[in-house]
Amino acid sequence: MVTAYPVAGAPGCRALVVDDEPHLIELVKECLEQEGFEVDGAPTAGQALEMIRRGQYDLMLLDIMLPDMDGIMAHDRVRAIDPELARHTIFISGWAKAPEIREYLASIGRFLPKPFKVEDLIRLARSINYN
């Protein structure tokens, strides 16, 4: 029996954007929807974790600075719930300027510094192997 997996740009590929800036959620949502993703947004890590428990996501964009917990702690919790989604995470942050922080974020996921170019977001989303 052959199993089909969603790929970037294919209908049914779902993304979750976790950021406390509503305008950023909307921007990322618009960009990813143009690539064929179905996109949900969450302003807090707690809300995102609840959404992950209730649904299936193929990609997550996760801010480091959230009001209820930092993105690294949230990522650890995501890893316990959905290890595959944890591997398909793109971190976004405006404060991760130090090279060691950027290296750490890149080692556990992909990283986009704020502000970022839409082209870089799309390139990273396309680079993930969803199989």
What per-residue confidence (pLDDT) applies to 53? 97
Rounded Cα gap, residues 19 and 22, in angstroms? 7
Average pLDDT of the segment spanning 117-127: 93
E strands, 64-131, in order: 89-93, 110-113
The predicted model scores a pTM of 0.87
Over the stretch 18-34, which tens digit does the pLDDT of each residue have?
A: 999 999 999 999 999 99
Contact 92, 2 (CB under 8 A): no
Task: Please indicate whether residue 106 or residue 67 has the higher confidence score (pLDDT).
Answer: 67
Residue 57 has pLDDT above 50, yes or no: yes
Task: Please indicate whether residue 80 or residue 7 has the higher confidence score (pLDDT).
Answer: 80
Residue 60 has pLDDT above 50, yes or no: yes
- Per the structure, the complete domain to which residue 72 belongs is given by 14-127
Task: Categorize the per-residue pLDDT at 99 as very low, low, confident or very high, splitting at 50, 70 and 90.
Answer: confident
Do the domain assignments include residue 95?
Answer: yes
Do the domain assignments include residue 99?
Answer: yes
Do the domain assignments include residue 2?
Answer: no
Do the domain assignments include residue 85?
Answer: yes
Task: Categorize the per-residue pLDDT at 129 as very low, low, confident or very high, splitting at 50, 70 and 90.
Answer: confident
Q: What is the mean pLDDT of the chain?
A: 88
Do the domain assignments include residue 5?
Answer: no
Beta bridge partners of 110: 90
Average pLDDT of the segment spanning 1-30: 77
Count of domains observed in the chain: 1
